[in-house]
Amino acid sequence: MTDAETSVPATPFWRFSLYLYRQAGVSEACIVLQDDCGVDVNLLLFLLWLAAERRQLSADDVKRLDDQVRDWRNLTIAPIRDARRRLKGAKTLVDPVDQEAFRSKVKAIELDAERLQQQALYRLTQSGPLGAEAAPVVAAHANIAAYERVLALRFPKASVDILLSAFAGIEHKSFAAP
């Protein structure tokens, strides 16, 4: 889905997310963190975008953000994702070609729901900076560690390393409107 295909305006955070997610290994690392650790990938990307914006958050800050997005995630994103995943290759009465076409529509709706969540997170930054100022790489490490504390677990090192490596490669790139 392109920016022109939706009524939700693209934010610098959305552009950052799309760019980072397309880096080698990032999508796979995010899926591992989502499926194995319960990570909200949009929140994780937000924490990395904030790091690129030189903002470091505490575990309390991350918990507040997670609390704010939980209802939307549970009401829309999680059930839509579950339906999309369950449709893949499922044996049903519906013709497989039609079922896959429907699954593609569900995927587009899931992406729209994620984009709405990202837009809402971005709006939180418009009333003032979140967290404390820090160097981007320092903030990225700290923000991920704060999220680990909120979820009370340790993320797989390989996934975190992929994310931080990709982040380091783009931290100085601008995602402001063209």
Tell whether the model's pLDDT for residue 3 goes beyond 50.
Answer: no
Q: Sorting pLDDT into bands at 50, 70 and 90, what band is 171?
A: low
Q: What is the DSSP string of 79-116?
A: HHHHHHHHHTT---SS-HHHHHHHHHHHHHHHHHHHHH
Query: What is the spatial distance between Cα 89 and Cα 108, in angstroms, rounded to a whole number?
Result: 18
Q: Residue 58 corresponds to which tokens in the numbers above?
A: 């505490």
CB-CB contact of 131 with 57 (8 Å): yes
Q: Sorting pLDDT into bands at 50, 70 and 90, what band is 168?
A: very high
pLDDT in tens, 33-57: 999 999 999 999 999 999 999 999 9
pLDDT in tens, 89-117: 899 999 999 999 999 999 999 999 999 99
Chain centroid to Cα 9, Å, comes to 17
Interacting residues of 32 by C-beta distance below 8 A, sequence separation 6+ = 156, 159
